[in-house]
A = this chain, B = another copy of it.
């Protein structure tokens, strides 16, 4: 979600173009309280929603502004089920991609191709439902194709989280895995004016279409300083290997000024409430993997406090996201695309909110280049 170095507060470093502290939009979707360590979705504390709601309930909350009753939830699920198609042209495009293509690039292209054929006009909730439902379908199809397997049809009895795992593996997933993934999808669904959501709103503010906005947001989420780094947490834990090697590995890394992955956040100056939930979910999902992750976390926090006192580096959302997603069987390069399959409901809700009360987002730049250069025609240039 962020770089460790992003945690320095505005007071100690002048604005270097990051728009820190600049309010770019008003929203009724989520509230991030960085100092209190609190995250609110449309009035509800994330701790009340995690593990008690499903992805579809949170999609309803963000799109319609309130939690659904049973009938409304069933209705939304039916509408999502109806939009799980894999059009022939998109399938062909995914087949034609090299197996080495990055899944985020495959997703970006598939959503773009689908939208070019299917979506016209101003953003609507129907379009938000349709684009969201296609994310797991496109991702799983690409993942199977790159492994030499044919894509599968969606399972008519499985919801968003379970069907995603089914489409990847061909197996009806275990209940613990579905619950863990569903909770993950709930926790990552929205987070204030993060870079990909902001990107989606900037594009929407030009009166462009919902797919152009979502495609842009996918590109932003891909960046390692935003959503593109959780697999590096897994890489770090794999490199450490055992609890016994943890302290030596971490001290060595810090001695070489390497960045420890999964700590620090631009906004949170205390523990990220999502990290707290994800830690418990990871503990339940795979106790053995959790034990190593927990030991590394404790050591890393102690060493960071020892070596970078006052920097207030806490465990961020990426750390246990990586542990949890690995425990439900996802390969590292699907971590960020799975993040996208959650955040797409936040993106689309923000797009709808932006167009509902729009103003073109068009900041200024400060020119620092040369002025008044004398133009010389090319024939006379040396």
Contact = CB atoms under 8 A, between A and B. Distances in A.
Interface stretch (A14-22, A77-85, A147-155, A233-241): A14-22
B206 A24 contact: no
Interface stretch (A162-170, A285-293, A326-334, A366-374): A366-374
A206 B218 contact: no
A220 interface: yes
Contacts of A227: 206
Interface string A349-382: 0000000011111111111111111011111011
Interface string A190-222: 001111101100111111110111011111111
A222 B212 contact: yes
A147 to B, nearest CB: 17
Given A43-B371, A375-B52, A113 B116 contact: no
A49 interface: yes
A185 B129 CA distance: 39
B105 A96 contact: no
Interface stretch (A66-74, A175-183, A249-257, A306-314): A66-74
A37 to B, nearest CB: 15
Contacts of A208: 219-220, 222-223, 226, 228
A9 interface: no
B198 A223 contact: no
Interface in A98-146: 98, 101-102, 104-106, 108-109, 112-113, 115-117, 120
B109 A193 contact: no
A48 interface: yes
Given A43-B369, A195-B205, A371-B43, A378 B68 contact: yes
Contacts of A363: 19-24, 193, 198
Interface stretch (A26-34, A272-280, A316-324): A26-34
Contacts of A342: none
A42 B369 contact: yes
Contacts of A115: 105
A6 B362 CA distance: 10
A223 B205 contact: yes
Contacts of A216: 199, 203, 215-217, 219-220
A89 interface: yes
Contacts of A49: 375
Contacts of A92: 92-93, 96
Contacts of A105: 112, 115-116, 209, 211-212
Interface of A: 2-3, 6, 16-31, 40, 42-45, 48-49, 52-53, 57, 65, 67-70, 73, 88-89, 92-93, 96-98, 101-102, 104-106, 108-109, 112-113, 115-117, 120, 192-196, 198-199, 202-209, 211-213, 215-228, 266-267, 357-373, 375-379, 381-382
